[in-house]
């Protein structure tokens, strides 16, 4: 009998192994190193092609749409008229794909790791779906921390699609970065950041939330389930002017209808996000609430 191949996801919060999540592998698609991290793309039985960076799962073919739709459409539909967007990270192109469904004028994508973009284009084209070639997309290979200092009061939305808070991404979870984000946003600007999962990284969720509350007047946690991520996942929105708790279902439906009318065929392909999901994902059980 052929020996089964398994790949075990690295759970960063564990100083010593207590829980392991394994993926049974059909085939290794790519494995190598960039200047910043180890990159693995594996064809798994349960989730199809799956991207790992430094052994931490980033996306899978079967459910990447959940994360990418939520991190993109939550802030864009919370804003009345987003035109200029900044994505930090997101080298796989999934966030870019979703943002470009909206009638935005320009989208900057800044990723420090050129190889992630190259490998994603080659082996994970189902994620970006041609987004990198869109004329509204401006690709920058570089440090998002440095890039963001070039602007002030310029962007409507900043999306921090960073990897886990280790190595080069550590600085994207610090107060200085969030202060710089505040500066580059317009007066009604909104930012969103991924903040890990509730089971193993609740410490990170609490820390990010409390830092953002020191800078932004309105901060809100959203939750949703991504099966390949092993737990409910967290996104945190922060706004300079818009009270995220007071956005009504009526407002969301009106904005959604207006945007969809300009790109009906592509928006029909949304599998997860809806105005109803937008509001429902902001409802937290007591043990997830942070003050």
CA distances from 130 to 50, 67, 72, 74, 242 (A): 19, 19, 17, 22, 32
Pairwise CA distance, residues 172 & 260, whole Å? 32
Those residues whose C-beta lies under 8 Å from the C-beta of residue 107, and which sit 6 or more positions away, are: 85, 86, 87, 96, 99, 100, 134, 136, 137, 138
Half-sphere exposure of 270 (CA within 13 A, CB side): 22
Q: What percent of the chain has pLDDT over 70?
A: 95
> Any idea where the domains of the chain sit in the sequence?
5-60, 64-288
Listed residue (196, 192, 195) closest to 218, CA to CA: 192
The dotted CATH code for 5-60 is 2.30.140.10
At residue 1, the pLDDT reads 36
Count other Cβ atoms within 10 Å, centred on residue 172. 20
Tell me the two tokens of residue 75.
């802030």
Residues comprising the chain, all counted? 291
Listed residue (89, 50, 92, 95) closest to 71, CA to CA: 95
Q: What percent of the chain has pLDDT over 90?
A: 81
Residues 1-26 have pLDDT tens digits of: 356 799 998 887 666 677 888 999 99
Tell me the two tokens of residue 235.
């996104």
- Residue 184 predicted with pLDDT over 80: yes
Q: Which residue has the higher pLDDT, 200 or 50?
A: 50
| Mean pLDDT on 221-235 | 95
DSSP 89: E
At residue 2, the pLDDT reads 52
Residues 29-71 have pLDDT tens digits of: 999 999 999 999 999 999 999 999 999 999 999 999 999 999 9
Residues 88-140 have pLDDT tens digits of: 999 999 999 999 999 999 999 999 999 999 999 999 999 999 999 999 999 99
The dotted CATH code for 64-288 is 3.40.50.150
Pairwise CA distance, residues 60 & 5, whole Å? 18
Q: Which residue has the higher pLDDT, 70 or 259?
A: 70
Burial class (CB in 10 A: 0-12, 13-18, 19+), 187: exposed
| Alpha carbon 98 to its chain's center | 11
- Residue 265 predicted with pLDDT over 80: no
**Mean pLDDT value across the chain:** 93
Pairwise CA distance, residues 265 & 248, whole Å? 26
Those residues whose C-beta lies under 8 Å from the C-beta of residue 132, and which sit 6 or more positions away, are: 93, 96, 117, 121, 139
Lowest mean pLDDT among 12-21, 76-85, 167-176, 221-230: 12-21
Those residues whose C-beta lies under 8 Å from the C-beta of residue 282, and which sit 6 or more positions away, are: 220, 221, 222, 244, 245
Listed residue (35, 92, 16) closest to 61, CA to CA: 92
Structure-token match 């392991």, residue found: 20
Lowest mean pLDDT among 31-35, 91-95, 147-151, 170-174: 170-174
Residues tagged active-site: 161
DSSP 101: T
Pairwise CA distance, residues 48 & 61, whole Å? 5
At residue 15, the pLDDT reads 66
């Amino acid at each position: 009998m052929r020996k089964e191949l398994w790949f075990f996801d690295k759970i960063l919060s564990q100083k010593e192994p207590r829980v392991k999540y394994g993926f049974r592998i059909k085939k290794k698609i790519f494995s190598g190193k960039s200047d910043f991290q180890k990159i693995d793309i594996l064809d798994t039985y349960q989730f199809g092609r799956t991207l790992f960076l430094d052994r931490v799962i980033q996306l899978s073919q079967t459910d990447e749409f959940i994360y990418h739709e939520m991190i993109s459409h939550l802030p864009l539909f919370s804003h009345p008229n987003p035109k200029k967007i900044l994505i930090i990270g997101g080298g796989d192109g999934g966030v870019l794909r979703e943002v470009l469904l909206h009638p935005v004028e320009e989208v900057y994508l800044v990723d420090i790791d050129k190889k992630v973009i190259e490998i994603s284009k080659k082996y994970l084209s189902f994620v970006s779906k041609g987004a990198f070639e869109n004329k509204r997309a401006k690709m920058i290979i570089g440090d998002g921390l440095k890039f963001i200092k070039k602007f002030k009061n310029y962007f409507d939305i900043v999306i921090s699609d960073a990897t886990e808070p280790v190595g080069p991404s550590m600085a994207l979870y610090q107060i200085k970065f969030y202060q710089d984000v505040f500066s580059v946003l317009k007066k009604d600007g909104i930012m969103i950041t991924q903040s890990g999962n509730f089971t193993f990284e609740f410490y990170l969720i609490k820390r990010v939330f409390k830092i953002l509350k020191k800078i932004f007047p309105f901060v809100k946690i959203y939750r949703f389930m991504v099966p390949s991520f092993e737990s409910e996942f967290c996104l945190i929105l922060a706004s300079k002017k818009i009270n995220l708790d007071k956005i009504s279902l009526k407002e969301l439906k009106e904005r959604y209808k207006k945007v969809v009318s300009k790109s009906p065929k592509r928006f029909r392909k949304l599998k997860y996000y809806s105005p109803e999901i937008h509001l429902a994902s902001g409802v937290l059980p007591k043990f997830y609430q942070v003050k």
